[in-house]
Structure 1
Amino acid sequence: MGNDRKQSITAWLCLLPAIIFLGVFLVYPMIDVLIYSFEEGYNFASRSFLGIGSYNYSYVLHDPYFIKALKNTFIIVIITVPMSTGIALIISIALSHITRLKELFQTIYFLPYVTNTLAVGLVFMILFRKTAYTDGMVNILINAFGARSIDFIEGPYWAKMFVMCFYTIWVVLPFKILILTSSIASVDPIYYRAAKVDGTSKLRMFYKITLPMISPMIFYLIITGFIGAFKAYSDEVALFGTDLNAAGMNTIVGYIYDMLYGNSGGYPSYASAAAIILFSIVFTITVINLIVSKKTVYYS
């Protein structure tokens, strides 16, 4: 018993730095944000408030800017997460069947992941934005097919959302391809050899062998994809500038930032309420995914 107690104390001492770090930089800020969200009429300068209640949540949920940000965020999540995962899966399967120059293709697909987000956004602006001198490369291609030019950056809402989703998918694809390619490579070849002996088609092998074996990684990418998409902000700034409300392309995280530091900033209580709402949405979706995964994810 003495030896077990000593090992237990040693283990807790090893974990202590991580526990302190998480407590100071994760648990305490979350509790602080929760408290801020219920403090009505909080004054940042005097650090005083008028009372405790749910007014901050009511204000945020009725704020047209937040409703717009919520709509934009959900559209980005619903479109980009499944599409990026599906495209990454197709590319990963194609890469797994390449024998020559396989490493070269993997490197090419991974390059956008190590490129600065704002630099990629600037390139997308050049490709899609109409200026006094040019309509942009994309519009040149559109004109070649006889269609009229579209201002994707300052034009209609659907055009801006198309660019936003396209950009988001482009940015997240490399990481997903890397994870899925590694996952497919880790599948034991004996399963495929046994399936070939039975005369199983490649399509059936994919559905019955490859997909179940890599399902934990697909589930991981979906969960992290949802969380990442709900936290979208820097991508929008890279394309549409810092005044996302004027562009009609703000997100929940952008709304929180605006409430803290933007032109309409100085309202930490409203920002805290919006942050708690965002946390609740992400937490709920994550729990739903975990419940669904029990029936759809295969853990060998």
Structure 2
Amino acid sequence: MKKYRGLLYLLPAFLFLAVFLIYPLIDVFIYSLEEGYSSASQQYAGIGLYNYQYVLRDPYFTQALINTVLLVVITVPISTGLSLAIAFLLMRIEKLRSLFQTIYFLPYVTNTLAVGMVFMVLFKQTPYSVGFVNMVMGWVGLSPVDFIDGPYWAKMFVLCFYTIWVVMPFKILILTSALASVNPMYYDAAKIDGTSSWRTFYKITLPLISPSVFYLIITGFIGAFKAYSDAVALFGTNLNSAGMNTLVGYVFDMLYRDGGGYPSYASAAAILLFAIVLTITVINLMVSKKYTHYS
């Protein structure tokens, strides 16, 4: 009985995962294979891969995929790099460090839709105002840009800027804790050897905090692929017309938006998203095994 005690302790967690994770995933996969499914009659015409073919040919899905990939590629490295730089600077500040940490953490505890509304006000042009950002650009001689309803690059810039702003506080908190956990004796030894600051950071600090860095990179990829509320906060609920939909938004639209009610298409898109996220996560884990150092 003692050798099964550990399994008994884990049984509630296994049941929770089975009911709320494994079963829904299997159910979604089954839905994705049901061709010609009718929500009204709860019937389908057959089993096959047509739903995947439809989704992959859908221009809205293609646009959502491009938007999501760009969001991931741009925001994850920039937010991680900036967070590391800010955390490193915070560690150099003895006085008011807690105050600065609190200030940097405030965006994380603020509702994302509320932050999005603030960003929209800052960037949006109206019949009465060009917006605060355009006003500042005018001071340095730059032409105004419609960041919310204008060209694609401008809208993507705002979305990436907003996403970086939202995710950085959590990353700063994690990296600040990681930097604080580095044993000072390594730095003392480096000073005795006359090691430069850059070499100390590259050879000592970065390897010792690499588990936290890779954790943030992996969770950053996953979080960016699940982005949806960010785009809604900036561009409204009709993201397809704005050309700024994401993969999660596409799944939601297939279920509920105008022309929705297609759970089979939504399920196929959800499975494709799951496959992409799983592949990226596995690659990141394989890379992290090579470059992560545990003290």
Give TM class, smaller chain: over 0.9
CA distance in 1, matches of 2:258, 2:2: 55
SS at match of 2:209: helix
CA distance in 1, matches of 2:127, 2:2: 71
Matches within 5 A, 1:45-60: 45-60=40-55
Number of the residue aligned with 1:21? 16
TM norm structure 2: 0.99
Number of the residue aligned with 1:99? 94
Match of 1:69 among 64, 71, 79: 64
SS at match of 2:213: helix
2:202 corresponds to 1:207: yes
CA distance in 2, matches of 1:7, 1:155: 66
Shift of 1:292: 1.4
- Structure 1 segments (4+ residues) deviating >4 Å: none
Number of the residue aligned with 1:255? 250
Matches within 5 A, 1:1-300: 6-300=1-295
Shift of 1:133: 1.1
Shift of 1:112: 0.4
CA distance in 1, matches of 2:3, 2:261: 47
- Partner amino acid, structure 2, of 1:289: N
- Partner amino acid, structure 1, of 2:222: I
- Partner amino acid, structure 1, of 2:199: R
- Partner amino acid, structure 2, of 1:257: F
The total of aligned residue pairs comes to 295
After superposition, what is the alpha-carbon deviation per residue over 1:127-172, rounded to whole angstroms, capped at 9, x for unaligned? 0000011111100001111121111000110000000000000000
- Partner amino acid, structure 2, of 1:127: L
After superposition, what is the alpha-carbon deviation per residue over 1:153-210, rounded to whole angstroms, capped at 9, x for unaligned? 0011000000000000000000000000000000011111111111111111100100
CA distance in 2, matches of 1:17, 1:292: 33
CA distance in 2, matches of 1:188, 1:127: 43
Structure 1 unmatched ranges of 5 or more:
1-5
SS at match of 2:182: coil
CA distance in 2, matches of 1:88, 1:123: 22
After superposition, what is the alpha-carbon deviation per residue over 1:82-113, rounded to whole angstroms, capped at 9, x for unaligned? 00000000000000110010100000000000
TM norm structure 1: 0.97
In angstroms, what is the RMSD of aligned CA positions?
0.8
Structure 2 unmatched ranges of 5 or more:
none
Shift of 1:9: 3.0
